[in-house]
């Protein structure tokens, strides 16, 4: 009797896992419409989410749903997601390999302008030495240039309001410096290990 119950419980548990996995796959198909079938986003203003840090992905979905981060495309998508979906999607996309958009490295003068602000604001203290980020801090290396520029300017004018600390930091740089930083970060590759992880 105990044994039969145990087997039944195990079977239930495993079907639940299967159901959840296929649910994530289904949800992820919606995301691919904009974030790309192969991880390369359709538009230059849409960020890479493949290989992005798990905690960061989850927090953004939560913030889009809460409305503390606003976007006409992501708002309606996040509204339909439950917390468990967001957690599952964050884990799912984190495991994918970050795509190489083959954005060129920034020229010397742009790099110099970028580095001046990067050093004075100590971006690497949080985003780490190769701008790979970790946990709830975003990976920036190799992200879409246009997206990076837009989102830093949005933090700066506080239209992206989900992290006031980042907004304060962005106000320590000029818009021209942020544009240079976007170009610099977009052209970065992560050295060592598999690309993007």
Sites of contact with ligand HEC (CB under 6 A): 27, 30-31, 33-35, 45-47, 49, 56-57, 59-61, 71, 73-74, 77, 89, 117-118, 121-123, 125-127, 136-138, 140, 143, 148, 150-152, 162-163, 166, 169, 173, 181
Q: Which is nearer to ligand HEC, 23 or 195 (CB)?
A: 23
Q: Which is nearer to ligand HEC, 8 or 168 (CB)?
A: 168
> What's phi and psi for 134, nearest 5 deg?
-170, 145
The minimum distance between CB 6 and ligand HEC, in angstroms, equals: 36
The residue assigned the tokens 């905690």 is 55
The minimum distance between CB 39 and ligand HEC, in angstroms, equals: 12
Q: Where are the beta strands (DSSP E) in the chain?
A: none
Q: Which is nearer to ligand HEC, 77 or 195 (CB)?
A: 77
The minimum distance between CB 104 and ligand HEC, in angstroms, equals: 19
CB-CB contact of 101 with 35 (8 Å): no
The minimum distance between CB 12 and ligand HEC, in angstroms, equals: 27
Q: Which one, of 84, 101, 80, lies nearest residue 31 by Cα?
A: 80
Residue 149 in tokens:
């520029």
Q: Which is nearer to ligand HEC, 125 or 193 (CB)?
A: 125
Alpha carbon 52 to its chain centroid, in Å, reads 5
CA distances from 40 to 63, 99, 142, 177 (A): 23, 6, 11, 26
């Amino acid at each position: 009797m105990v044994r039969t119950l145990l087997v039944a419980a195990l079977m239930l548990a495993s079907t639940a896992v299967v159901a959840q996995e296929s649910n994530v796959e289904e949800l992820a198909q919606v995301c691919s419409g904009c974030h790309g079938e192969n991880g390369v986003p359709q538009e230059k203003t849409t960020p890479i989410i493949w290989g992005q840090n798990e905690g960061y992905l989850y927090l953004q979905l939560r913030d889009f749903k809460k409305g503390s981060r606003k976007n006409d495309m992501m708002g309606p998508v996040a509204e339909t997601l439950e917390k468990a979906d967001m957690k599952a999607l964050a884990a799912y996309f984190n495991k994918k390999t970050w795509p190489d958009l083959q954005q060129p490295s920034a020229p010397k003068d742009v790099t110099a302008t970028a580095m001046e602000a990067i050093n004075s604001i100590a971006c690497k203290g949080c985003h780490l030495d190769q701008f790979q980020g970790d946990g709830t801090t975003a990976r920036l290396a190799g992200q879409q240039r246009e997206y990076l520029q837009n989102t830093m300017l949005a933090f700066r004018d506080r239209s992206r309001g989900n992290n006031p600390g980042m907004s304060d930091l962005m106000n320590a740089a000029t818009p021209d410096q942020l544009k240079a930083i976007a170009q610099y970060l977009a052209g970065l590759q992560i050295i060592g290990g598999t690309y993007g992880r």
